């Protein structure tokens, strides 16, 4: 039996103050010390079980961080107020002015904007490359490259990153591999494939109820200590701290993630197969037609499915908009950004979550105007959902590209 992230989470036991089945929630920003000497000592170095101030760490956040570290098979973790908080503080821990980041060309639009527009103001510049083209990737790495950044399954095109190959290229060039694993928690374990740091937007599948924004960083003990360092750590000094009541609720939801993933994955595979059968252009890594189907099959932990994300090319923006309006009316799901919710969510990334990427770069990468990204929900009767989608496709006039509909 290989690595089993769900069992690692399940076996993490923390009781509350009175033997409660859930850990107690820390409702304090600050902590008392028995002596001034002890306080001074804690400001100099971490002491297991002692806390100084909740922006640095608090017990409830530590419980969630420890569970996520176990899930990712990392030594340590820190939780943050958002996925972007996790990404930005990670990159600021690794890079200084004059350094470079090499990054996949199709990534979440917020990350793209951070690398393209904000970090250059602090002297950190990024090059965007097709991560499937390893020669182009090698050519983009320079002695100044500190980070190779990718998403395990890219947003929104669902390209699978060849993590062992990317780790080798990063390390050959003295860089660290940072992987955003938001789309594939439990399904892929990047640290086990050579990554140095894993980040998540916990806002998505990990939490699963679309009721809060949160993130995390998982890595070595040494890296998390640098991230939180009182004198120079970006997490400590920029302060994107997660509220402890949220950390407690996310920890509870984490315990059902494996079951939700199986249902998201089974529903997405069903819809992707049926839509492809009707002749539509569908990207879903669980389909044999997906270019990296075999690669993900080799990388994934068995038993959690192929993920809940799929894309459908409706042909053009007007048709995509008609289709999404109809699908919302027919209660297929909601026209909304984000993902990992128990309801199906759909959006055109070109006009929402990837709008930060210029049109010509989106087109060059295959992110067409008519592309709809779906986060497939936990629907009990997915055949009924498919029947509704089918009626909407006909009414919207969405024509299959492969062949005529029968
Ligand atoms: N990474 C990916 C792949 C995302 O899709 C998102 C948000 O959509 C983020 C990171 C940012 O996360 P957050 O919205 O929690 O800051």
- Angle at 208 (CA atoms; ends 328, 292), nearest 5 degrees: 85
Residue 236 resides in a domain: yes
Per-block mean pLDDT, blocks of 10 residues, the chain (406 long): 92 94 96 91 83 92 98 98 98 98 94 97 97 97 98 94 98 98 98 98 98 98 96 96 97 98 98 97 97 98 98 96 98 97 95 81 85 98 98 96 56
Same domain, 287 and 234: no
Residue 293 resides in a domain: yes
By most ligand atoms within 8 Å of CB, the mutation choice from 68, 79, 83 for ligand 1 is 83
Tokens 């299959």 label which residue? 400
Same domain, 165 and 250: yes
Count: domains in the chain: 2
Same domain, 93 and 149: yes
Same domain, 231 and 277: no
Which of 202, 227, 254 is at the close of a domain? Answer: 254
Residue 401 resides in a domain: no
Protein residue closest via CA to atom 2 of ligand 1 = 108
Interatomic CA distance for residues 225 and 188, integer angstroms: 25
Strand segments (E) across 214-350: 215-219, 281-283, 309-313, 334-335, 345-347
Instruction: Report how far ligand 1's centroid is from the alpha carbon of 37 (Å).
Output: 42
By most ligand atoms within 8 Å of CB, the mutation choice from 80, 81, 82, 84 for ligand 1 is 84
Instruction: Report how far ligand 1's centroid is from the alpha carbon of 278 (Å).
Output: 32
- For helices 244-254 and 59-72, the axis angle rounded to 10 degrees is 30
Residue 402 resides in a domain: no
Q: Which atom of ligand 1 is nearest to the CA of 203?
A: 15
Which of 254, 286, 319 is at the close of a domain? Answer: 254
Ligand 1 pocket (Cβ < 6 Å) reads 82-84, 108, 110, 151, 155, 180, 182, 201, 203, 213, 215, 353
Q: What is the pLDDT of residue 41?
A: 87
Which of 254, 288, 310 is at the close of a domain? Answer: 254
Residues whose CB is less than 8 angstroms from the CB of residue 146 and which lie 6 or more positions away in sequence, other chains included:
94, 95, 99, 100, 101, 175, 176
Interatomic CA distance for residues 272 and 158, integer angstroms: 13
Q: What is the DSSP letter of 117?
A: I
By most ligand atoms within 8 Å of CB, the mutation choice from 103, 183, 201 for ligand 1 is 201
Q: Which atom of ligand 1 is nearest to the CA of 183?
A: 3
Instruction: Report how far ligand 1's centroid is from the alpha carbon of 341 (Å).
Output: 14
Instruction: Report how far ligand 1's centroid is from the alpha carbon of 96 (Å).
Output: 23
Instruction: Report how far ligand 1's centroid is from the alpha carbon of 201 (Å).
Output: 5
Residue 324 resides in a domain: yes
Residue 404 resides in a domain: no
Same domain, 184 and 329: no
Instruction: Report how far ligand 1's centroid is from the alpha carbon of 83 (Å).
Output: 5
Protein residue closest via CA to atom 4 of ligand 1 = 108
By most ligand atoms within 8 Å of CB, the mutation choice from 114, 203, 205, 242 for ligand 1 is 203
Q: What is the pLDDT of residue 116?
A: 97
The two structure tokens encoding residue 334:
């909601």
Going edge to edge, which strands form the sheet with 281-283? 281-283, 309-313, 371-375, 345-347, 334-335
Same domain, 349 and 323: yes
> What is the CATH classification number for the domain harbouring 349?
3.90.1150.10
> What is the CATH classification number for the domain harbouring 161?
3.40.640.10
Same domain, 247 and 280: no
Same domain, 163 and 244: yes
Protein residue closest via CA to atom 5 of ligand 1 = 108
Burial class (CB in 10 A: 0-12, 13-18, 19+), 36: exposed
Same domain, 11 and 129: yes
Q: What is the pLDDT of residue 19?
A: 95
Q: What is the pLDDT of residue 26?
A: 94
Range of the domain at 303: 257-396
Instruction: Report how far ligand 1's centroid is from the alpha carbon of 139 (Å).
Output: 28
Same domain, 188 and 305: no
Protein residue closest via CA to atom 13 of ligand 1 = 83
Same domain, 53 and 167: yes
Same domain, 82 and 104: yes
Residue 359 resides in a domain: yes
Closest alpha carbon to 348 in 322, 375, 321: 321
Residue 406 resides in a domain: no
């Amino acid at each position: 039996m290989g690595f089993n992230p769900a069992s690692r989470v399940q076996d993490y036991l923390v009781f509350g103050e009175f033997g409660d089945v859930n850990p107690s929630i820390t409702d304090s920003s600050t902590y008392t010390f028995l002596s001034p000497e002890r306080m001074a000592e804690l400001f100099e170095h971490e002491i297991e079980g002692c806390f100084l101030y909740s922006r640095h760490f608090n017990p409830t956040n530590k419980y969630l961080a420890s569970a996520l570290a176990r899930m990712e098979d990392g030594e340590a973790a820190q939780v943050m107020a958002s996925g972007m908080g996790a990404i930005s503080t990670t990159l600021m821990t690794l890079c200084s002015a004059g350094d470079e980041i090499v990054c996949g060309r199709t990534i979440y639009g917020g990350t793209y904007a951070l690398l393209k527009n904000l970090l250059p103001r602090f002297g950190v510049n990024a090059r965007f490359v097709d991560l499937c083209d390893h020669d182009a990737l090698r050519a983009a790495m320079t002695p100044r490259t500190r980070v190779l950044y990718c998403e395990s399954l890219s947003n929104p095109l669902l390209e699978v990153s060849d993590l062992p190959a990317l780790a080798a290229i990063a390390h050959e060039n003295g860089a660290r591999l940072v992987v955003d694993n938001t789309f594939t928690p439990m399904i892929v374990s990047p640290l086990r494939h050579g990554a140095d740091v894993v980040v998540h937007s916990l806002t998505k599948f990990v939490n699963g109820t679309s009721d809060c924004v949160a993130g995390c960083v998982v890595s070595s003990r040494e890296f998390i200590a640098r991230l939180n360092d009182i004198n120079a750590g970006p997490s400590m000094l920029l302060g994107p701290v997660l509220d402890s009541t949220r950390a407690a609720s996310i920890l509870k939801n984490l315990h059902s993630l494996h079951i939700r993933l199986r249902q998201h994955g089974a529903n997405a595979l069903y819809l992707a197969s049926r839509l492809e059968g009707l002749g539509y252009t569908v990207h879903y890594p669980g389909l044999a037609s997906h270019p990296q189907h075999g690669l993900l099959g080799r990388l994934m932990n068995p038993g959690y499915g192929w993920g809940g994300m799929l894309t459908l090319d409706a042909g053009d923006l007007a048709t995509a908009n008609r289709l999404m309006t109809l699908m919302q009316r027919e209660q297929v799901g909601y026209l909304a950004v984000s993902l990992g919710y128990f309801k199906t969510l759909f959006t055109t990334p070109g006009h929402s979550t990837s709008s930060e990427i210029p049109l010509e770069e989106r087109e060059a990468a295959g992110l067409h105007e008519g592309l709809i990204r779906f986060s497939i929900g936990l629907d009990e009767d997915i055949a009924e959902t498919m029947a509704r989608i089918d009626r909407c496709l006909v009414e919207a006039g969405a024509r299959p590209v492969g062949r005529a509909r029968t």
